[in-house]
Structure 1
Amino acid sequence: MVEMLTSLLQKQFTFMREPLQVGLKLEATICFLATGNFNQSLQYSFRVEASTIRKFIPEVYKAIIAIYEDEVLPSPKTEKAWREAADRFSSRWKYHNCLGAVDGKHIAIKMPPNPGSYYYNYKGFHSIVLMAVADTAYKFLYVDVGAEGGASSEGTGNNRSLLDAVEENRAGVPQPEPLPNEYHPEPYHFVGDDTFSLRA
């Protein structure tokens, strides 16, 4: 990872200072992600001022996304790619014309300033919502994170960019096709629990 991220994270040497190593930035960021704690132990563990750590963590996030997004989150964008995802559901689970399994998860957060009820969810804590579509190997095909936890799961699911793209025919979803041994075309679809309403 250090080698992959170096081109985006390595700062230049100057006569004023020696830049932090990319490996140190990555390790501190991973420790922060693993614990969720930004306290003095992080500062003392890496012997770097807290203000400096706060500054480089978002830079590391952006670099990781830029380098690994297409490899780790290869969201289908063409009919061929969606059909491949559906074929995997057919061959593994014998469930046909399925593009992916959709679900949401409340990610606990500290209460933002003056949040009202926007982030307070029905489970009794403040959160943002992670919405995801997974394939048969439990790998993400699509992720959307950041919706306020106070929105219902259904409301959140019904207002995400993937749904908008599907309904506006911008997502590359294939046209309806017959199921095996059938003649009547059936639409391709996503499967989810009863939190998500059926939509035509």
Structure 2
Amino acid sequence: MASQDEDDMIALVGLCVVLNKKKKCKRKMWSKKWLTKRNEYTHTRLLKDLVGEPSDFRNYLRMDEDAYKQLLLLVTPLIEKKDTVMRKSISPYERLIATLRFLATGRSYECLKYSTLISPQALGKIIPETCEAIYKVLKNVLQFPNTTEKWEVNAEQFEERWNFPHCLGAMDGKHIDIVPSADSGSYYYNYKGRHSMVLLAIVDAKYRFLLVDFGTNGRVSDGGVLQRTKFYEKLQSDELEIPKPCNVTEHFKEVPYVFVVDDAFPLSINMMKPFRQAQLDSAVREIYNYRVSRARHVVENAFGILASRFRIFHTQINLEPENIVKSLFMNSKGMS
């Protein structure tokens, strides 16, 4: 009887081996059939027809044709992949369009796959990689003043356009809503009752970003975010080449150059913020508050322009935190 049982067991093991081999031999396609028809159905064909419609082209990619072509030329060496004997690579043209549509609409990867004909798994690698390439080729566009003369030009523009003398820039923070990862707990939970990451920026008188810091969790206040930046370190150690205090009028002498901020930031010799409501006990203070608020609206308006252009800032971004940083600003701790 024992030998019969052993024979049965051997036969059963052999059957399992045969079935496993059959499962392993079952071949699968690289992707779904409709995803392989990218040249036929993708929105890149639509873009060719939009070339003759400048307003529609700009609305679709949030930039005009010349800017798009220049950007494509710059990022192609960084995002181009080689074809293999197995399949063709996704072209830089398609990669950049998918990335710009993601930023312009804020749609999920699952939703984007129907217009790009690229799988969500591939988009999860393509979009952060392309955003990182865009940052590398355009990081010098943010011209942070590094000389006294450049700071003085900023101050002159603020005085001319916003009637606030000796203003070097307007500073504020914006909470970018995110879908937190499962193990993050309340790490990103902010005072507004949402999960977010903080975008800290300094803007000049013409709504141009001079400095961007992004990546700090939403629990930290704007003042706390500022204190973690290289900008704050250099400001405290007097390494920013800020002009020395000088006279504004004969009545206002030795006035320092400042950044205008809101109540979330600390008051210092180089940071001016409005008086609180309980402190408004004179017309002079009310006029001062009006001037500070008027100058500080520049950074609020810049955030509005940014979110209007790239609608991803109106959504809850459902990506891993490190990919959110790559997809938006590439965190540089305040000295972009």
* Shorter-chain TM-score above 0.5: yes
TM-aligned CA deviation for residue 134 of structure 1: 0.7
For the residues of structure 1 that align with 2:183 and 2:251, how far apart are their CA atoms? 56
Partner of residue 138 from structure 1, selected from 187, 202, 207: 207
Q: How many residues align?
A: 199
Letter in 2 for 1:124: G
TM-aligned CA deviation for residue 148 of structure 1: 1.0
**1:28-177 alignment runs, 5 A limit:** 28-71=98-141, 73-177=142-246
Letter in 1 for 2:239: R
For the residues of structure 2 that align with 1:108 and 1:138, how far apart are their CA atoms? 23
For normalisation by structure 1, the TM-score amounts to 0.89
Unpaired segments ≥5 residues, structure 1: none
Partner of residue 19 from structure 1, selected from 57, 68, 89: 89
Letter in 2 for 1:85: N
SS in 1 for 2:214: strand
CA RMSD of aligned residues (A): 1.9
Kept after mapping to 2: 8 A contact 1:118/1:151? no
Q: Whose strand fraction is larger, Structure 1's or Structure 2's? A: 1
Q: 2:261 matched to which residue of 1?
A: 192
What's the CA shift string for 1:146-176, capped at 9, x where partnerless?
1110112232233332122211222222222
For the residues of structure 2 that align with 1:165 and 1:129, how far apart are their CA atoms? 21
For the residues of structure 2 that align with 1:133 and 1:188, how far apart are their CA atoms? 15
Range with bigger deviation, 165-174 or 54-63: 165-174
Structure having the higher Rg: 2
For the residues of structure 1 that align with 2:216 and 2:105, how far apart are their CA atoms? 22
Unpaired segments ≥5 residues, structure 2: 1-70, 270-336
Kept after mapping to 2: 8 A contact 1:132/1:144? yes
TM-aligned CA deviation for residue 183 of structure 1: 7.2
TM-aligned CA deviation for residue 91 of structure 1: 1.9
Letter in 2 for 1:37: R
Kept after mapping to 1: 8 A contact 2:171/2:202? yes
TM-aligned CA deviation for residue 108 of structure 1: 0.3
TM-aligned CA deviation for residue 96 of structure 1: 1.3
Kept after mapping to 1: 8 A contact 2:109/2:124? no
Q: 2:45 matched to which residue of 1?
A: none
For normalisation by structure 2, the TM-score amounts to 0.55
